[in-house]
């Protein structure tokens, strides 16, 4: 599956009527961290999402390749 840009993920949230905080609660992530990652710049992001929770969020949103280290969380799917 091709990777998405932050803009594409934001548009997907808009099309599906999802809020950042609702998605974060559903997957047991920090809503502030999800917002920070999605509002960051694609070309020069302040948060690199290299490890930990930010890595898991980026992978689950389709922003980067890798494995979510919390296996009980399903991947984001279209409504």
Read off the pLDDT of residues 5-26 as tens digits, 9 standing for 90 and up. Answer: 999 999 999 999 999 999 999 9
pLDDT tens track for 32-69: 999 999 999 988 889 899 999 999 999 999 999 999 98
Q: Could you give the CA distance from residue 22 to residue 31 in angstroms, rounded to a whole number?
A: 8
In this prediction, residue 9 carries a pLDDT of 97
Chain centre distance of CA 65: 12
Q: For residues 56 and 69, is the Cβ–Cβ distance under 8 A?
A: yes
Q: Is the pLDDT of residue 73 over 70?
A: no
Which residues lie closer than 8 Å to 35 by C-beta, 6 or more apart? 20, 21
H/E element, 36: helix 31-39
Give residue limits of the domains in the chain.
Answer: 6-61
Q: Could you give the CA distance from residue 3 to residue 72 in angstroms, rounded to a whole number?
A: 22
The number of beta carbons lying within 10 Å of the beta carbon of residue 50 is 10
């Amino acid at each position: 599956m091709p990777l998405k840009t932050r803009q594409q993920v934001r548009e997907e949230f808009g099309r599906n009527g999802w809020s950042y905080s609702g998605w974060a609660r559903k997957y047991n992530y920090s809503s502030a961290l999800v917002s920070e990652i999605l509002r960051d710049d694609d070309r020069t992001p302040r948060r690199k999402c290299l490890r930990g929770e930010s890595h898991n969020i980026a992978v689950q949103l389709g922003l980067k390749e890798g494995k979510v280290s919390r296996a009980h969380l399903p991947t984001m799917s279209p409504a």
